[in-house]
Structure 1
């Protein structure tokens, strides 16, 4: 299936989006509001950390979350013509319909008034305490969501799941709250990797292993240090995390995930091979060993 040309879609003014990587505008497509995420502008100095693949990362990661049974934003890949250039964009469907308001976990964490740290703090013990004490949604269900998200982020190599890019939908009219769909997945799947880096990783097992066992790390800290996914899961010290692994891993059908990637528009053959290889390697080298250890 090919992508969509969003160039002539009606712009929706009055909506603004934060976030570090790339410009964002709101448009209407098929009667629904979408946020278009553009790839960041090229740096003046050549750099491997260009995030030029962040739109692909966003779409592939969000769709894989959905394929694994976790509610995530709906995304589409398409193009947008600007200043005579064609940009590949990721369109993210607006899930704040019917007057619902998105509050990120950073905001909710700040409502836990006896917490020792502010909303941006990502120390795991502090996050767990805040999940327990927040009064918006059921704490047990919220912890399940947090750990399910952590396991899928492990599979996808997300290095930036901080407190500002997951959260809640608040309905003030109904005085109700629910967990928001997973969103902002552009930091999955090594978005900085250009074709040279992809080639190197595919050709060199040591380079691949470095990007599995050593980095990217999680944005969450434990004892003041960013969590390394492999080390953390193999220790198996957090029962609720291991319960999430037991829930999520049986849902991972790697052939279905690879077939999905094969049909993603705009990807080069190198990019398809890279994403398929990288996800399969993280499954086999991180999630499966941790899963098997539970059953030993």
Structure 2
């Protein structure tokens, strides 16, 4: 499971200085399925965390009650239940000023999608939009489906893993219907789509934002030319353009969710020259790093690791 899961009670993975904390999925043991489902109360205080954090896993939340704001990356979503939220691995989120938040959460890693690998791309796209309002019919269907997932996971009767994977696939498909988008850009299981999906997951990693197209192609075991053809066929954009967007988006996350200096953000996103980074950031976002941070500032104290006194 590539360090995406931990035993219950394991401390949150300490991030590099100034980065956003990383939560891993708690499971009963190394042979346990990388899946959890339950209410906010059942899954513990981290399910309502009011500090920005990331996950190594997917999170689908059916919000049925409560007030406040769900902050995902740079977007703020006022709670007016019922809602469905889809948060992907690496996305930064927290619940701000939450009061009486209730509902059901389903948590799972990429490894759990082995029966339906194309769902990974669907989930990535759903995470880009993240937040979906539900009409009474959608809400009722979502309640029943979530309840089935929770019951199946709790009872763990013979064959429960297969049932969970099937029910989860239904959940992903129904969530995709809410967004009006299903499937992958180049058709289910197509090689260009699969390679583009792998490329998207690779550049979503924070340490990949300063890589070149050649670096990514080497990691994926293809030539730069083939990677360019596959990504362009699946997305309509070049891998170089997507890498630039990933660097700009990572810089936005760090400016919005940490108190790293502009020089530190520049270094973290692969720029040795802060002045060049500022020109890059203005070109990509239309504003300076300082102005962006001022606009997106929040009440949380610095996430940069505090050093003990000498």
Task: Indicate whether the TM-score tops 0.5.
Answer: no
Q: Which has the higher helix share?
A: 2
- TM-score, normalised with respect to structure 1: 0.31
Q: Which has the higher contact order (CA 8 A, sep 6+)?
A: 1
- TM-score, normalised with respect to structure 2: 0.30
